[in-house]
Amino acid sequence: MQDQRIRFEDRVAIVTGAGNGLGRAYALDLARRGTRVIVNNRRRATDTPGDSSAERTVAAIRAAGGIAAPNWEDVLDPGSGVRMVEQALSEWGRLDILVNNAGVDQHAPFHRISLEAFRAVFDLNFYGSLHVTHAAYARMREAGYGRILVSTSAAGLHGLHGLSAYSAAKAALIGLMRALAQEGARHNVLCNAIAPFAATNMTARVATPDFTARMRPALVAPMVSFLASNQTLVNGAVIVAGQGGFRRATTVEGEGLGYATEAELDPERFATDTPRLLALGTLHEFRDALAAFAHFSAAFPGVDPCSQP
């Protein structure tokens, strides 16, 4: 019988933003299962020598018998990903897993946030993952194995008042993940997204004691470990996770409506047909943009070219 156990021995992971909260929980869980972990978190002005958040996570891993090394790269630096990958290779000779967790939240409605502030939030949440992913993906593709996770959010899936920049970045990560999942599949490099509900520094200012107790980051971590494992067949998925519950989120298209003549294509007709336009009816999910286009073309053959008004 084939051995179906999930193995992490000799696997090497990079976890960004792993000094606290979700990233720390991910790093601890992976290490507990045998993964060697590069624990990334940039230094803070309040850090004292030898006592940064990355070092505290590494100390916790080592105290539990695991193997880890700290990394203080700022993921906003375009070269940070290359240096993290080089550290993993220097320490342990390989890189199998990347968990992108570093990010920052937002506390301003769109009309009150400056473009500079918007860009700062977007850059850290999107480019902070892009820089590391670009370097790690190249190595994994060459090696013929890899597992990449990006951290998205319910705000990226559905939007949220006051989180325009954050929502935009988290939605962009889903698009990046979906493309990489398709490109990497033939090289056994799988890419997924986790959309966690958890009590972290980002939620501390509004979290109640009950929320904090129910939404522990440790309850999300096992799903991350599964998606990072050699046994997962999941690829290109967004998994919503929190308080012991998990479900997939995806993009779908509804039934739609079509017109036979160009004369029917006017705003007044659309106003009348709005309920049909917005109705979902039978839902359709597509493996990629080409499949979506093929289905759309078949469903709506187009207007009669001889019907021009």
Number of Cβ within 10 Å of residue 257's Cβ equals 16
Backbone angles phi, psi at 108, to 5 degrees: -155, 135
d(CA 151, CA 45): 25
Is 166 noted as a catalytic residue in this protein? yes
Helix (H, G, I), strand (E, B) or coil at 134: helix
Token pair 């920052």 is found at 104
The catalytic residue among 127, 137, 166, 259 is 166
Helix (H, G, I), strand (E, B) or coil at 242: strand
Helix (H, G, I), strand (E, B) or coil at 151: strand
H runs (alpha helix) in the chain: 21-32, 53-63, 80-92, 115-122, 128-143, 154-158, 164-184, 209-214, 221-227, 267-272, 274-278, 289-299
List residues with catalytic annotation: 166
